[in-house]
Amino acid sequence: MTSILEDTLNARQQPEDTNPVSGAARIGMGLVEFIVTIAVMTASVALAIDSMLPALSSIGQSFDVANANDAQLVIGIFFLGFGFSQIFFGSLSDAFGRRVVLLGGLAFFTVSSFAASQATSFEALLVLRFIQGIGAAAVRITTMAVVRDCFGGREMARVMSYVMIVFMIVPIVAPSLGQVVIVYADWHWIFILIGVIGLVLFLLALTRMSESLPAEERLPLSVGAILSGFRTVLTNRITCGYMIGLTLFTAVICAYIVSVQQVFGEIYGLADWLPIAFAGTAGGIAVANFANGFFVRSFGMRRISHAALILFTLLAAAGYALSLAGTPAFVVSYVMFSVLLMFFAVIATNFTAISLEPMGHLAGTATAITGFISTTAGALIGSAVGQLFNGTLQPLFGGFALFGILTIAATLWAEKGKLFTHPGDQAAGGDHGGGHM
């Protein structure tokens, strides 16, 4: 079966790949092996987050954490390390090659995972989770760079679509994996399991992946290039405005993830059902992404994302109003959260693409900078919302509504007061255009 699939994919690839060292062969892999390897490495980030959800209350009890909300920091501090360090790894991999940075990231990820399983204090655990986030960022940035090195244009888009199919399996199954470990052992073994997976990925990268960036194509490490990239990003109205939106919607997903265990466990008493419920919302996000890919060519990124943004804000405000009157029925809350996260997926995907439109040849640098700002600031804001948890849904729905309102304002600023269509559309056509402040 694998051989047939690989033959089919390679056959489809041949017309566009005239360079004998292009495609998956550039790192010494077949196409199917390449797709699975990149997907699994990228998904290690989601695994390190989502598998921990069922264990948060156990971790808090194990370390006698005074405030139950502080257990959320096990998730939030990982996001912070992941976001903070992204800015460095793009330049490092451009200067020293993808392979050495990838191996270093996997080593950080693996060693910190095993060390976290032996943590003797909550503070030590948080430090190790921050380091684990740094390792995960190196893995994420370098694997995406490897895809860019090996493929371009339509072939890159096609490969990434296959990668995302494999990647989306992890958020669906990871909480169940964590739940199984909790049932038969304790939370320490989740970190051991993550460490074993990290070690396998390290050995796979060491033995199976060649360098994808030849020495002659590398760029000198330059602080000036990073500062110049910051200046370019922060002075472009479109990039900056949509980056603000991405930051606020990173806060949305962070607030949801750090709070979801308490929502299901403390508000509804359904902690054992968390993996299944989380899988449902993750499945909804996958469906929304596929639907967006299908419709975006017909309707454009702005029409779809702006409509989703307005509907997200209205639905979150309705949820806040309901929560003020008392705790909504579980079915009502679950459906609302599921739909909100589907809107989130559409907004985040399209906002990312729109923010990079004006960057041209700086797209790689801009990706690292926008990822650094949106993930770091979004993690801090989302974690702050999680800390407001008070046994009701008010902080979560209220935070979502506020983030939606602020994102609408940032989008209006970016688009010079217009939604659904860019001011330059009549001149440039479609979803194109930029603008400096």
Cβ atoms of residues 245 and 351 within 8 Å:
yes
pLDDT digits (tens, 9 = 90+) for 39-49: 899 899 889 99
The answer for residues whose C-beta is within 8 angstroms of residue 281's C-beta and 6 or more apart is 337, 338, 341
Q: What is the mean pLDDT of residues 54-62?
A: 92
- Claim to verify: residue 338 and residue 371 sit in the same structural domain: yes
Q: Is there a domain that residue 67 lies in?
A: yes
Cα separation, 162 vs 157, in Å, equals 9
Would 10 be classed as within a structural domain? Answer: no
Q: Which two tokens stand for residue 146?
A: 């490897």
Q: Above 90 in pLDDT, residue 173?
A: no
Q: What is the pLDDT of residue 195?
A: 97
Which among 39, 431, 286, 335 is positioned nearest to 294, based on CA atoms? 286
Please say which residue of 187, 221, 255 terminates a domain: 221
For 421, phi then psi, to 5°, come to -150, 140
Same domain, 212 and 231: no
- Say if CB 353 and CB 224 are below 8 A apart: no
The gap from C-alpha 325 to its chain's centroid, in whole angstroms, comes to: 34
CA pseudo-torsion sign 12, 16, 17, 23: negative
Is the same domain home to 348 and 282? yes
Confidence class for position 154, pLDDT limits 50, 70, 90? low
Residue 210: left (phi > 0), alpha (psi -120 to 50), or beta? beta
Report residue 427's pLDDT band, with 50, 70 and 90 as the boundaries. Answer: very low
**pLDDT attached to residue 361:** 57
Residues 228 and 98 in one domain: no
Verify that 171 and 117 share a domain, yes or no.
yes
What's the pLDDT at 22?
Answer: 61
Residue 5 lies in a domain: no
Shared domain check, 151 and 190? yes
* Distance, CA of 419 to CA of 416 (rounded, Å): 9
Say what the pLDDT of residue 364 is: 61
Cα dihedral sign for 107, 197, 152, 305? negative
Do residues 178 and 245 share a domain? no
Place of tokens 């992204």: 86
Same domain, 117 and 149: yes
243 and 185 within one domain: no
Q: What angle do CA 112, 114, 115 make, to 5 degrees?
A: 60
- pLDDT for residue 91 is more than 90: no
> Angle, nearest 10°, between helix axes 122-150 and 363-387?
150
Which of 188, 221, 254 is the last residue in one of the domains?
Answer: 221
The DSSP 8-state label assigned to residue 185 in this structure reads: S
User: What's the structural domain count of the chain?
Assistant: 2
* Mean pLDDT, rounded, for 304-332: 95
Find out whether 106 and 201 touch, Cβ atoms under 8 Å: yes
Range of the domain at 280: 223-437
Please indicate, yes or no, whether residues 98 and 55 belong to a single structural domain of this protein. yes
Average pLDDT over residues 153-176: 76
Calpha distance 24→20 (Å, rounded):
10
Residue environment code for 270-300, b if the CB has 16+ CB neighbours within 10 A, otherwise e = ebeebbebbbebbebbbebbeebeeebeeeb
- Residue 333: CATH number of its domain: 1.20.1250.20
Q: Give percent of the chain above pLDDT 70.
A: 89
Which helix (DSSP H) or strand (DSSP E) does residue 140 occupy? helix 122-150
In the three-class reduction of DSSP (H, G, I as helix; E, B as strand; rest coil), residue 18 is classed as coil
DSSP bridge pairs for 236 = 436
Say how far apart CA 338 and CA 3 lie, in whole Å.
Answer: 38
**What pTM was computed for the model?**
0.80
**Domain endpoint, select from 187, 206, 221:** 221
If asked whether residues 194 and 284 sit together in one domain, one would say no
